[in-house]
């Protein structure tokens, strides 16, 4: 596997996520989203960079707090990395979740493609447990309230698509 290509893909991931879902509403400008006609209800954020393309496609159900999605990275039109995720969060924790994700993406640290291992901001606590590296990983993040009750979670997993 080309270590240099993987290192660049990891940097591209962090930089692209700074323009995606986690940054929506925080910069004062809305993130541009599209949809895929064949996937009704899809929300798609596309970041085009020289030689690179990052697409985050996710779904939410208006009658629940559940969501699921996939992030893909291409280099020169070839897929090189993927991450799938899904879970449930009530709307009340979404701003806190976005701040957790922002922190990780802006620091360019890889915590399984999600937020840091631990972050606290009254009244919530974010905990992320993951195993692996950018090339092969899985984990789960959870948000708790100050009493310790779980307010939601997301599982995730991903891997490089390059030959090892």
Mean pLDDT in order along the chain per 10 residues (164 residues): 89 88 61 88 92 96 95 97 98 94 92 97 97 98 96 98 89
Which class for 83: exposed (0-12), middle (13-18), buried (19 or more C-beta within 10 A)? buried
Residue 127's DSSP bridge partners are: 118, 142
* pLDDT tens-digit readout, 81-107: 999 999 999 999 999 999 999 999 999
pLDDT for position 123: 96
Query: Are 77 and 50 in contact, with CB atoms under 8 Å apart?
Result: no
Instruction: Give residue 2's pLDDT.
Output: 81
Q: How many Å apart are CA 148 and CA 157, to the nearest integer? A: 25
C-alpha–C-alpha distance, residues 48 and 10, integer Å? 15
């Amino acid at each position: 596997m080309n270590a240099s290509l993987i290192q660049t893909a990891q940097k591209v991931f962090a930089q692209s996520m700074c323009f995606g879902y986690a940054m929506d509403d925080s910069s004062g400008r809305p993130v541009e989203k599209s949809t895929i006609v064949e996937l009704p209800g899809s929300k798609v954020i596309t970041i085009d960079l020289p030689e690179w393309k990052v697409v985050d496609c996710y779904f939410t159900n208006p009658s629940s707090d559940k969501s699921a999605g996939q992030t893909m990275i291409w280099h020169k039109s070839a897929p090189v990395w993927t991450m799938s995720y899904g879970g449930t969060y009530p709307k009340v924790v979404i701003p806190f979740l976005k701040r957790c994700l922002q922190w990780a993406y802006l620091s360019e640290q890889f915590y399984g493609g999600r937020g840091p291992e631990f972050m606290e901001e009254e009244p919530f606590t974010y905990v992320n447990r993951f195993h692996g590296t950018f090339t092969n990983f899985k984990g789960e993040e959870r948000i708790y309230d100050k009493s310790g009750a779980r307010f939601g979670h997301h599982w995730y997993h991903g891997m490089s698509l390059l030959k090892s």
